[in-house]
Chain A
Amino acid sequence: MKFIFAIKRGRIALLAAVMALLAVPGYAQSARLELKNLEKLSSKASEVTDVTLDGDLLQMAAKFTAKSDDKDAHEVSDLIKGLAGIYVKSFEFDKPNQYTQADVEGIRSQLAAPGWTRIVQSTSKRDAETNEIYLMKKEGKIVGVAILVAEPQELTVVNIVGPIDMDKLGELGGKFGVPAQIAGQPAHNKKSGEAGHEKK
């Protein structure tokens, strides 16, 4: 009898080990970035924009937007329908050197994980700024986007989790205050947001 229990226990342990091994790559492949280490910068920043939209909220927003008669609203709804999350943390500071290189490295190290590919990087030593865009692809489809903008008086991280159509994102240009053309055009003036936007 004891022998049978020992075999059963052994099987359970083996099953647990297999499940754990399967779970690790799944976790590693997630496009969700851990941004909690940036929260401490809120106290130093003069302007903070913090948007946390999980899947449920996004789907609620998608449904709510889809009810609108506006064609543009339908485009937004289509864009966010399949997303699992949008996370934005943006800090603007009155003076430089309010965040450390370690804060940036904390994000960049996550983007060095397998699955992420840096598609754009611009570094200016003169302006002391780094701008990067990363994509996570699975089976040829984009399943995650990360944008990292680190300037002397600004640090912004955007993380989109889930399948996103970059063309559709581009099509939103000129609507809802989204810049008219993405890429190759001069940057537009910043517009302050509504929700989750805090000016000090």
Chain B
Amino acid sequence: MPFSEDDLRAALRRKEPSADFTAKVMARLGEQPAQKGRGMREMKEFSLLRWPVMLRWAVAGAVAAVFLLGLGLQQYQRRQQQARAEQARRQTILALQITAQKMDHVFHRASRTPVQSPANIKEQL
């Protein structure tokens, strides 16, 4: 948009402030500290120290309960895993017992037949 030198001069011409300008500025300056103070007050109101004693105990109790529950759950899982491992160990021993017993049985039966002597079988193994 083209503008002339006169436009520029008119735009930069000194203007007197309105009569209530000072009052407006002072009012704004007074407002800001008040808002800040309100924010601080709100923070203090929500601060843990300002909570009622009972509420503080309740929160502490809840935190402790969650912690203990987690600890208990961890212990329970560890015990469950140990129980599973112990059961697996017992089953393994049982399986090995049966395996050895049956091998013993088969070899014993085979040793009674003339074709397969235990020595031959051991060699095969």
Identify the A interface with B (CB < 8 A). 49, 51, 53, 57-58, 60-61, 63-65, 76, 79-80, 86, 88, 90, 119-122, 124, 129, 131-133, 135, 145, 147, 149, 156, 158, 160, 166, 169, 172-173, 176-179, 181-188, 190-191, 193-197
Contact = CB atoms under 8 A, between A and B. Distances in A.
Nearest to A129: B109
Given A183-B122, A184-B111, 10 more contacts: A88-B98, A90-B98, A119-B125, A122-B116, A158-B98, A169-B103, A178-B97, A182-B100, A184-B108, A188-B104
Interface string B88-100: 1111111111111
State the 5 A-B residue pairs at the shortest beta-carbon distance, nearest first: A193-B94, A184-B118, A64-B85, A61-B88, A183-B107
B98 A122 contact: no
Contact of A169 (B99, B106, B110, B112): B99
28 contacts: A49-B94, A51-B94, A53-B88, A60-B85, A60-B88, A61-B92, A64-B85, A76-B92, A80-B92, A88-B95, A119-B125, A120-B107, A120-B116, A124-B109, A132-B106, A158-B95, A158-B102, A160-B99, A169-B96, A169-B100, A172-B96, A177-B93, A182-B100, A182-B104, A183-B122, A185-B104, A193-B97, A197-B94
Interface of B: 81-82, 84-113, 116, 118, 121-122, 124-125
Nearest to B82: A64
Output the residue of A132, A160, A177 with the most chain B CB within 10 A: A177
B104 A179 contact: yes
Secondary structure call for the A interface: mixed
A195 B85 contact: no
A58 B121 contact: no
B96 A131 contact: no
